[in-house]
Chains A and B, each alone.
Chain A
Amino acid sequence: EVLLVESGGGLVKPGGSLRLSCSASGFTFSITWMSWFRQAPGKGLEWVGRIKSKSAGGTTDFPAPVKGRFTISRDDSKNTLYLQMNSLKTEDTAVYYCATDVYVWGQGTLVTVSS
């Protein structure tokens, strides 16, 4: 069974940084493209970025609202995905989900950006 468990969420001040982790099991992590999504309170879904498998180049892509502030990395030896978030803004407040590209999503972790 595919299982994704996010961690690292919490309260951070505007301008601060936070790193989320996503521990994966139940599938071959190293060959799987992975994505991050988010959902602001009471709002719809938004794609935050993706990382390709190393065999596909390991490159990352981001939408405009987070480009230059967020980075995604992966440690295939630990079956773990990361989302590094810098220069956080209040509008980044959301539940953050990792996903096996677009197929299976984790339960999410809440990030609150507030002074």
Chain B
Amino acid sequence: DIVMTQTPLSLSVTPGQSASISCKSSQSLLHPNGKTYLYWYLQKPGQPPQLLIYEVSNRFSGVPDRFSGSGSGTDFTLKISRVEAEDVGIYYCMEITQLPYTFGQGTKLEIK
């Protein structure tokens, strides 16, 4: 199984500042078809996860452009520009390049 490692596991951010979360995979997530199946979710308190970014860098429908994803191979980053109070929750990366789908441990974002 591919192991997904997120850092940091928690971060506290002042509103208006930016935040970055790293996700590293134990194997390359580049699929033979040329796509990289790396996803980012936000789970707000008491809610199911909501998709933010699919295939490394594509924002899902309705996701603000403050959220951006980048990376390739085994190293990926989610960046949140101008953090807002509504961004609190736990962020997860997930890969589906290889079965089984696997998640990172999650990164808890709090607002200062």
Taking Cβ atoms with an 8 Å cutoff, the residues of A that contact B are: 35, 37, 44-47, 50, 61-64, 97, 102-108
Q: In the complex, are the beta carbons of B60 and A103 less than 8 A apart?
A: yes
SS class of chain B's interface: helix, strand, loop or mixed?
loop
Are the CB atoms of B92 and A103 closer together than 8 Å?
no
Q: A47 with B48: in contact, given A102-B54, A103-B60 (CB under 8 Å)?
A: no
Nearest-neighbor residue (CB-CB) of A47 within chain B? B101
Q: Chain B contact residues (Cβ within 8 angstroms of A): what range?
A: 20 to 34
Q: Which residues of A contact B102 (CB under 8 A)?
A: 47
Contact of B48 among A44, A61, A64, A97 (CB under 8 A): A97
State in angstroms the CA–CA spacing of A108 and B54 once bound together.
22
> Of all chain B residues, which has the CB nearest A62?
B100
Taken together as a complex, chains A and B put the C-alpha atoms of A109 and B111 apart, in Å, by 29
Measured between alpha carbons, how far is A78 from B50 in the docked complex, in Å?
Answer: 25
Q: Does B69 contact A (CB under 8 A)?
A: no
Total number of A-B contacts with CB less than 8 angstroms?
A: 48
A104 nearest in chain B by CB position = B51
Q: Is B96 an interface position by the 8 A CB rule?
A: yes
Q: In the bound complex, do residue A45 and residue B99 qualify as a contact, i.e. CB atoms below 8 Å apart?
A: no
The answer to whether B51 and A103 have CB atoms under 8 Å apart is: yes
User: Is there contact, CB below 8 Å, between A45 and B51?
Assistant: no
- If A61-B99, A97-B48 touch, whether A44 touches B39 (CB-CB below 8 Å) is no
Distance, CA A62 to CA B99, complexed state (A):
8
Considering the complex, give the chain B residue whose CB is closest to the CB of A61.
Answer: B99
CA distance A102 to B39 in the complex (A): 9
Min distance, Cβ B107 to any Cβ of chain A, angstroms: 11
In contact, B103 and A105 (Cβ under 8 angstroms): no
B94 within 8 A of A: yes
| Inter-chain contact B96/A63, CB cutoff 8 Å | no
Question: Is B105 in the interface zone, CB < 8 Å from A?
Answer: yes
Sample of 15 more A-B contacts, CB < 8 Å, known A44-B105, A102-B51: A35-B101, A44-B92, A45-B43, A45-B94, A50-B101, A63-B1, A97-B49, A102-B54, A102-B94, A103-B51, A103-B54, A103-B60, A105-B48, A105-B49, A106-B48
